[in-house]
Copies of this chain bind each other. A is one copy, B any other.
Amino acid sequence: MALEMGRVEMWVCAKAFSSSANLGPGYDVLALAHDAYYDVVCVRKSEKTFVSRVTGAYEVPREGNNAIAAAEATLESLGADMGVEIWVHKGVPPGRGLGSSGATAAATVKAIELLLGKALDPNVAVRAAAEGERAATGSAHADNVAASYLGGLVMVMYNPLQVVQLGFPKVKFIVATPWFDVPEGKTGQARRVLPNEVSLSDLVTMTSGALAVVEGLKRGDSSLLARGLEMDPVVTPARSKLIPCYNEVYKAAKDAGALAVTISGAGPSIIILGDEGSAKAVIEKWKSCGIEASYKEVEVAKGASATTPPHV
């Protein structure tokens, strides 16, 4: 019995933070990790790869959990002919535009790296984690996973996937989340509302907007950042229609002094560059529309890293 106990593998765990993708004009390219929420994923060696346990603040399915696809891609990248048993401790609310599946995938990749004592090239690691995104949303876009895996501000290039860590800007902002029921396949819907084509002049606006966001964050220039965050004539206007009372909420935040407001990822959460006064105005406005909402003041988060197993 004692001998058998000795053979039980220990859980090896990693923590990965939530993130906001797009940041206005940086559609599918930019993302920022923040300390609003985090997932912990623990793994141990196993014959096959499966999720044995889900705990934490939010329920997600064990079957088809995107940790599985991320884990399989990671094991393959590491040349490991084995499986892992996975424990997902869910802290990032799913379906709110906060990179929930991305955090799971990033934590899964990092936990397996730690378990095997091997580090992947960041591009390979993010590609593996993006396979989790493909399982979760049908497209292997890598902005959220790159942010949760690398931390800070990141950019992504595709075909082939290449991620660039752009630094850990010192910025405080508000993440506000409405808790109305979102439909199944929300991210897919949020992609379908986008136009297939954009005008050349909108392209120019978005290019300079994305550059302004990055430069504003790097400099800590909130005025430049604010202008950049709102230089999106394409994605934010289209997606704002999926968020109840978005225009009223936007106006309430600006009236309360916010420098900029935009959608976090595919929504419905929003990012507010402003203080708690504007956050409270947003929550009030959503309430008056019949929608419960909450906010967190957040800072930029580090990348996925080792942690201890959660207390449950």
* A210 interface neighbour in B28, B195, B211, B227, Cβ under 8 Å: B211
Complex copy number for this chain: 2
> Smallest distance from the beta carbon of A123 to chain B beta carbons, Å?
12
Confirm or deny: A214 has a beta carbon within 8 angstroms of a beta carbon on chain B: yes
Confirm or deny: A175 has a beta carbon within 8 angstroms of a beta carbon on chain B: no
Confirm or deny: A135 has a beta carbon within 8 angstroms of a beta carbon on chain B: no
> Smallest distance from the beta carbon of A214 to chain B beta carbons, Å?
6
Contacts of A196 in B (CB 8 A): 199-200
Confirm or deny: A162 has a beta carbon within 8 angstroms of a beta carbon on chain B: yes
> Smallest distance from the beta carbon of A70 to chain B beta carbons, Å?
23
Contact B206 A203 (CB under 8 A): yes
Per-residue B-contact encoding for A177-201, CB less than 8 Å = 1, 0 else: 0000000000000000011111110
* A164 interface neighbour in B155, B198, B206, B215, Cβ under 8 Å: B215
Contacts of A206 in B (CB 8 A): 203, 207
Contact B198 A27 (CB under 8 A): no
Contacts of A195 in B (CB 8 A): 200
Contacts of A203 in B (CB 8 A): 27, 198, 203, 206, 234
Confirm or deny: A82 has a beta carbon within 8 angstroms of a beta carbon on chain B: no
Interface residues of A in 138-163 (CB under 8 A from B): 155-158, 162
* A197 interface neighbour in B25, B27, B29, B198, Cβ under 8 Å: B198
> Smallest distance from the beta carbon of A169 to chain B beta carbons, Å?
14
Contact A212 B158 (CB under 8 A): no
Confirm or deny: A26 has a beta carbon within 8 angstroms of a beta carbon on chain B: yes
Confirm or deny: A243 has a beta carbon within 8 angstroms of a beta carbon on chain B: no
Contacts of A155 in B (CB 8 A): 208, 211-212, 215
Confirm or deny: A55 has a beta carbon within 8 angstroms of a beta carbon on chain B: no
Per-residue B-contact encoding for A22-62, CB less than 8 Å = 1, 0 else: 00011111100000000000000000000000000000000
User: How far is it, in angstroms, between the C-alpha of A157 and the C-alpha of B205 when the chains are bound?
Assistant: 7
**Chain B minimum-CB-distance residue to A235:** B200
Confirm or deny: A204 has a beta carbon within 8 angstroms of a beta carbon on chain B: yes
Contacts of A215 in B (CB 8 A): 155, 164, 166, 214
> Smallest distance from the beta carbon of A266 to chain B beta carbons, Å?
14
12 A-B contacts (beta carbon < 8 Å): A155-B215, A156-B208, A157-B208, A157-B212, A158-B204, A158-B205, A164-B212, A197-B198, A197-B199, A198-B198, A198-B203, A214-B215
